[in-house]
Amino acid sequence: MNIKNLILPAIVASVEAGFAILEVYNQDFAVEEKEDKSPLTLADKRSHEIIMSRLSSLGIPVLSEEGKSIDYHVRKQWEYFWMVDPLDGTKEFVKRNDEFTVNIALVHENKPVMGVIYVPVLKQLYFAARNFGAYLMALDSGIDFSDISLAQIVDKSASIDMTPKKTRPFTIVGSRSHATKELEEYVEKKRAEHGTLDFISAGSSLKLCRVAEGSADVYPRLGPTMEWDTAAGHIIAECAGASVFRADNGEPLLYNKENLLNPWFFISNGKH
């Protein structure tokens, strides 16, 4: 399969979904509660529908947070599949702090090989693929995504990597809505090691992007996440040169497990 040919459809789906999310964000909206007590809005649903309509025509199975009830015996047969979070950071969306994203990843044999993260409010588009690189594009109103090539998008984008762009203290990025005691202990340990330390709070998959673009040295996720929360950011971080590994044994983070809950993990530029 030519992965490069799938980057543009994923970008178009994410941006179109992002526009729909902003339509809901800029008006009053109701918040439902899912079985796991997490919030659900009309924006989640609209984004899911748009992405499904865009990706389903490509003949590759889709595993989305809002359509996740696919039996493991079915999906374990998949060689390739899309891993989608139509609205990552619904809590941030509800709080109206702008830190929510659309995440689309292509997974091949338990590992993400391509990923797109779109940040609707900031109009930032992160995308990456194995043997292709990692990029960040700032959208402007003059771009017509109905008639654009991948080459044109790359031309309008900046290549990103994990190297810090300026001299700064050791920097940790962590969750805005899901702080844990273990994270606090890790931060204090690193503060003792480095003397000075910066901590950046961020919502959704923006935390993975911060390491990928060199704004932070490490994202320690010492709390629960699901596979759709991390797959797109995982490959973006890896293509930018960062390492993604389990906190317990240093092994790779794998996808399409029977239980879609991630183990604790680190995303690091080597200074964890």
Quote the pLDDT of residue 272: 64
Instruction: Give the residue among 141, 142, 140, 112 at the shortest CA–CA distance from 127.
Output: 112
The pLDDT of residue 180 is 82
Query: What are the beta bridge partners of residue 64?
Result: 84
What is the mean pLDDT of the segment spanning 185-210?
93
CA distance 9 to 56: 11
Q: pTM higher than 0.85 for the full model?
A: yes
Delineate the domains of the chain, giving CATH numbers in brackets.
4-159 (3.30.540.10), 170-268 (3.40.190.80)
Q: What is the mean pLDDT of the chain?
A: 92
Considering only CA atoms, which of 172, 203, 201 is closest in space to residue 189? 172
Indicate if the pLDDT at residue 177 is higher than 70.
no
- Contact indicator for 170, 194 with CB cutoff of 8 Å: yes
Q: Which of 246, 252, 244, 204 is nearest to 228 (CA)?
A: 204
Give the CA dihedral 86, 99, 34, 32, nearest 10 degrees. -100
pLDDT of residue 130: 97
Residue 271 has pLDDT above 70, yes or no: no
**DSSP reduced 3-state for 173:** strand
Highest mean pLDDT out of 161-165, 176-180, 251-255: 251-255
112 and 83 in contact (C-beta within 8 Å)?
yes
Per-residue pLDDT tens over the stretch 76-133: 999 999 999 999 988 888 888 898 999 999 999 999 999 999 999 999 999 999 999 9
pLDDT in tens, 20-60: 999 989 888 877 777 666 767 788 889 999 999 999 999 99
Mean pLDDT across 234-243: 98
Q: Which two tokens stand for residue 44?
A: 């989640």
Residue with tokens 């991630």: 262
